[in-house]
Chain A
Amino acid sequence: MTATAEKPTTHRVRAAKKAKTQLSEGKKQERKLGWLLCAPAAIVMVAVTAYPILYSVWLSFQRFDLKFPDQREFIGLGNYITALSNQYWWTAFGITMLITVVTVAVELVLGMALAWVMFKTLVGRGIVRTAALIPYGIVTVVAAFSWKYAWTPGTGYLANLFTDGAPLTERASSLAIIMLAEIWKTTPFMALLLMAGLALVPEDLLKAASMDGATGWQRFTKVMLPVMKPAILVALLFRTLDAFRVFDNIYVLTAGSNNTSSVSMLAYNNLIRGLNLGIGSTMSVLIFLAVAVIAFIFVKLFGTAAPGSEEEGRR
C-alpha cells in the first residue's frame, strides 16, 4: 500500500512531497485513527505473546529448577548445549519430523481428493461438505481417546485387526496410529483450503485445454496445479507448522512411551513434570526457532503468500 509513497523516483520527489502535504490533513487523521483503533489489540498481543516469548528466552539462559530455587543462576548457552547434545532431544526431533512429513504428504493427497469431491458434488452439497468436516470439528483429545480405546485389546474393535498383541505398546505401530489419528483429524482442514484453490481455477481454461486435446491428468497437472499453487502452498504451510507442534494425540495415545515423544511432549515433560524451567524453556525456544525456519522456507523459497494478497505480499 505504501510502496509508492515510500519509494518515489527522483524526478517525482517534489510532486510526491507536494501530494503528501496535500493529503496530510485527511491522511494523517486517518492514520492516527488507524493506530488508535488497533492499539488496544496490539498492546494485548504484546502482553500475551511477546512478553511470554521473551521471558522464555530469558529463562532458557538460566539454570532454573523450581525444586532447587536457591540454585538459580545465569549460564548463557549451557542449556542449549545440554539439549542439543542429548539423544532424547534428537530422537524426539526425528519422530516429529517423521510425523510432520508423512502426515502432511498424505493429507495433501487425500485433501485434494476430498476437495475435489466437495467441489464437484451436485446433489446434497451441504451435507457432503458438513460430513467431510466433522473430524475437524471434534476436539482432538476426545478423538484421541476414541482412537486409544479402539486400539486397546478388550475394549476396541481395531485392536486385533492385525496382531494379537496391543498395538499401542510397540513403537512402530504406535507411531502409525498417531499418524493415522492426525491424518484423520486434519485432512478436512487441508481439503477446505484446497477447495478455495479449486474455486480459483477458471472453467474456461479447463475447457480450452480439453479442446487442445489435454487428457484429464494433463489438465490436472498443467492447468489446475499451477493455478492452485498459492492455495496449496498456504495449506502446506499451515499444516506443516501445525504438525510440527503435534502434542494432544501423542499425549493421549502413548504419553510418549516406547520413544514416541514429539519435541512438544519432551518440552512438556521437562517443563511441567520435571519443573525444569531452564531446560524446558530452551526446548520451547528451539521449537519456536524450528517453526520460524519452516515458515521462512515456505515464504522465501517457495514464495507462499497470504491468500488474497497479490504480488506485493510475497516478499
Chain B
Amino acid sequence: MAERSRGIRRRRRGVAALAAVALLGPAAACGGGDDGGVPELNVYYAPEQNFQQVVDDCNQQAQGRYRMVYQVLPRGADEQRVQMVRRLAAEDDGMDVLGLDVTWTAEFASAKWIREWTGREKDEASQGTLEKPLESASYEGKLYAAPKNTNTQLLWYRSDLVPNPPKTWDEMIQLSQDLKSQGKPYEIDTMGAQYEGLVVLYNNMVASGGGKMLSDDGAKVEFDQGAVDALRTLQKFASAGVTNPSFTNTQEDGARLQFQSGNGAFQLNYPFVWPALQEGAPDLKDKVKWARYPGIDAGTPSKVTIGGYNLAVSEYSKHPAEAYEAALCLRSPEHQLFSAINDGVPPTIESVYDDPKMDEAYPFKADILAQVKDGANRPITPAYQNLSTVLSATLSPPADIQPEQDAKDLRGSIQDALESKGVLP
C-alpha cells in the first residue's frame, strides 16, 4: 500500500511538473544562453583535475567566437558512456564536444552520433599525431575524432630484487617463482577483475604474439592460433602462483596498492602509479624502475594496448564549426603538454614529448613513446562494448581458462556480439 500510494503521489507530482514545464517553457527558452551572440559549447568530458584551466584558456583564446562550458562526466567509464549515449539517442542538441574513450569512437560513428572530420580540421587533427591514437579515432577509413591523450601500461619492477627486467611473460613468471622459493617479495601485480582491464591484459598477449581476434575490417571473428596461444599464456600466468590472492578482483588502483605494500616484485600498470609511489612508499621509490611491457617471444618487442581519450563533435550540435575549433584548441600541443604535466595523461602529438618540461613529470617518456608507436589498438568495431563484455565474462576467472574449449565458444559468441544478435551477460 505504501508503495502504491507513493506511486500515485509520484505520478501526481509528475503531472504537476508537466504542467509547470508547459507553463514555464516559453519563458525558460527566452532565458537561454545563446542570445548574447557568443555560441555556448557544452564539452562533455571525464573528470580531469586541471581540465577546467584548459577550457578557460581556450575560451580566452577564442576571443568571443565561442564559450565552452565543461560538463564533468561521472568517474566510471561505463557511466560516462551511458550518460552520453542516452542523450545522443534522444538527439540532445545541447552537446557539442564529446570526450570519448578510444574504444567508443567506432560505435558512436556507426550510430551516426558524431561528425566526420574533413578538410582543414582533419589536417590539423592529424598533423604530427601519433599513428596508433589516430587509428583509434578512425572508422572505415574516415576520421571521426581528434586524439586528446593516449595511455599505455609499463612494467614496474623492483631493481633490488630483479637486476634485469624480463622481456617475456615466461621469463617474468620464472623470475617470480624463483623469488617466491627464496622467500622474497615475488608477486606480479596487475588487473584481473572481470572488466575492461582483463580484456586489455589479454589483448596485450594477443597482440604481442602476433595474434588476431577479428578480421582487419573488424566485421568478422578470426580468433587465430595467436589468440588461442594468448589464452594459454593468460591461464599459465594466473595459475602459476605468482599473482596476488585477490587478483581476480583487482582493478588499477588495487594493483597499485598491492605493489606499494611491498609484496610485489613486478607491476603492470599505467604511469599514474609513479607519482603515487613517490608519495605513498618513500622506501620503495628508489628501488622501483620501469621497462617495456613484457612480450611473448624474446626476439619480438611487445605490442601493448593503448588507451586514452578522443574528442568528437556531436551530430546534433548547433555550432559544429565552433565545436571543431574548440576541440582542436583543447588538444593543441601546448594544452597536451599542460595536461601531461599536471594531470599525467600522455600526449598524442609526438613533438610534445621533446619538450624538456616533460622530463621531470615523465622520466619514462621514452618508453611510453616507444610503446605507443608500436602500440596495439583493441579491435576497432562498433560492437566493441559487446565484444569486451563477452570476452571479460569468458576470461574470468583467468585460472579456469580452457584454451581450446574457450576459443571455440568465443568464436561463436564474438560473432554474435559483432552482429548484435546474442544476449549480453
Residues in A lying within 8 Å of B, measured CB to CB: 40-41, 44-45, 48, 63, 65-69, 82-83, 86, 88-89, 136, 153, 165-166, 168-169, 189, 192-193, 196, 238, 242, 256-259, 261, 266, 269-270, 272-276, 279, 307
Instruction: Pick from A41, A261, A273: contact of B385, CB below 8 A.
Output: A273
With the chains together, A69 CA to B110 CA distance in Å? Answer: 8
Contact in complex: A67, B422 (CB < 8 Å):
no
Within 8 Å CB of B422, what residues of A? Answer: 82, 86
Contact in complex: B85, A275 (CB < 8 Å):
yes
**Residue from A40, A166, A168, A276 having most chain B Cβ neighbours under 10 A:** A276
Give the number of residue pairs across the A-B interface with Cβ within 8 Å.
94
Interface string of B5-30 (1 = CB under 8 A from A): 00000010011001000000000000
User: A67 and B246 in contact (CB under 8 A), knowing A269-B425, A273-B424?
Assistant: no
Contact in complex: A68, B423 (CB < 8 Å):
no
Within 8 Å CB of B385, what residues of A? Answer: 273-275
- List of 8 A-B pairs having minimum Cβ-Cβ separation, nearest first: A65-B420, A86-B423, A169-B249, A67-B382, A274-B424, A88-B425, A257-B194, A88-B423
In terms of DSSP, what is the predominant structure of the interface of chain A? helix
User: A45 and B11 in contact (CB under 8 A), knowing A67-B383, A257-B194?
Assistant: yes
Within 8 Å CB of A261, what residues of B? Answer: 425
Contact in complex: B386, A274 (CB < 8 Å):
yes
Within 8 Å CB of B86, what residues of A? Answer: 272
Contact in complex: B1, A269 (CB < 8 Å):
no
Contact in complex: A67, B3 (CB < 8 Å):
no
User: Is B184's CB within 8 Å of the partner chain A?
Assistant: no
With the chains together, A272 CA to B89 CA distance in Å? Answer: 11
User: A69 and B423 in contact (CB under 8 A), knowing A44-B11, A242-B3, A274-B389?
Assistant: no
**Residue from B78, B193, B423 having most chain A Cβ neighbours under 10 A:** B423
Shortest CB-to-CB span from A267 to chain B, Å, is 10
Shortest CB-to-CB span from B16 to chain A, Å, is 11
With the chains together, A136 CA to B383 CA distance in Å? Answer: 40
In terms of DSSP, what is the predominant structure of the interface of chain B? helix
Within 8 Å CB of B194, what residues of A? Answer: 257-258
Contact in complex: A274, B420 (CB < 8 Å):
yes
18 A-B residue pairs with Cβ-Cβ distance under 8 Å, sorted by A, are A66-B111, A67-B107, A67-B110, A67-B382, A68-B111, A86-B422, A165-B246, A192-B2, A238-B1, A242-B3, A258-B194, A261-B425, A266-B424, A272-B86, A273-B385, A275-B85, A276-B424, A279-B420
Chain B residues numbered 74-101 whose CB sits less than 8 Å from any CB in chain A = 78, 81-82, 85-86, 89
Shortest CB-to-CB span from A280 to chain B, Å, is 9
User: Is B421's CB within 8 Å of the partner chain A?
Assistant: yes
Chain B residues numbered 378-425 whose CB sits less than 8 Å from any CB in chain A = 382-383, 385-386, 389, 396, 420-425
Within 8 Å CB of A269, what residues of B? Answer: 389, 424-425
With the chains together, A276 CA to B420 CA distance in Å? Answer: 7
Within 8 Å CB of B89, what residues of A? Answer: 66, 275
With the chains together, A66 CA to B82 CA distance in Å? Answer: 13
Contact in complex: A40, B15 (CB < 8 Å):
yes
Kindly report which residue of chain A lies nearest to residue B108, judged by CB atoms.
Answer: A67
With the chains together, A166 CA to B244 CA distance in Å? Answer: 13
Contact in complex: B82, A272 (CB < 8 Å):
yes
User: Is B225's CB within 8 Å of the partner chain A?
Assistant: no
Interface residues on chain B, number (Cβ under 8 Å): 35
Contact in complex: A88, B2 (CB < 8 Å):
no
Contact in complex: B420, A68 (CB < 8 Å):
yes
Kindly report which residue of chain A lies nearest to residue B392, judged by CB atoms.
Answer: A257
Within 8 Å CB of B15, what residues of A? Answer: 40-41, 44
User: A270 and B424 in contact (CB under 8 A), knowing A48-B14, A189-B2, A193-B1?
Assistant: yes
With the chains together, A279 CA to B81 CA distance in Å? Answer: 20
Within 8 Å CB of A259, what residues of B? Answer: 425
User: Is B112's CB within 8 Å of the partner chain A?
Assistant: yes
Contact in complex: A44, B421 (CB < 8 Å):
no
User: Is B177's CB within 8 Å of the partner chain A?
Assistant: no
Kindly report which residue of chain B lies nearest to residue A71, judged by CB atoms.
Answer: B420
Within 8 Å CB of B112, what residues of A? Answer: 69
User: A67 and B1 in contact (CB under 8 A), knowing A257-B194, A275-B85?
Assistant: no
Contact in complex: A68, B382 (CB < 8 Å):
yes
Interface string of B183-196 (1 = CB under 8 A from A): 00000000001100
User: A273 and B425 in contact (CB under 8 A), knowing A67-B383, A257-B194?
Assistant: no
Chain B residues numbered 33-91 whose CB sits less than 8 Å from any CB in chain A = 78, 81-82, 85-86, 89
User: Is B126's CB within 8 Å of the partner chain A?
Assistant: no
Contact in complex: A82, B421 (CB < 8 Å):
yes
Shortest CB-to-CB span from B198 to chain A, Å, is 11
Kindly report which residue of chain A lies nearest to residue B113, judged by CB atoms.
Answer: A66
Within 8 Å CB of A45, what residues of B? Answer: 11
Kindly report which residue of chain B lies nearest to residue A168, judged by CB atoms.
Answer: B249
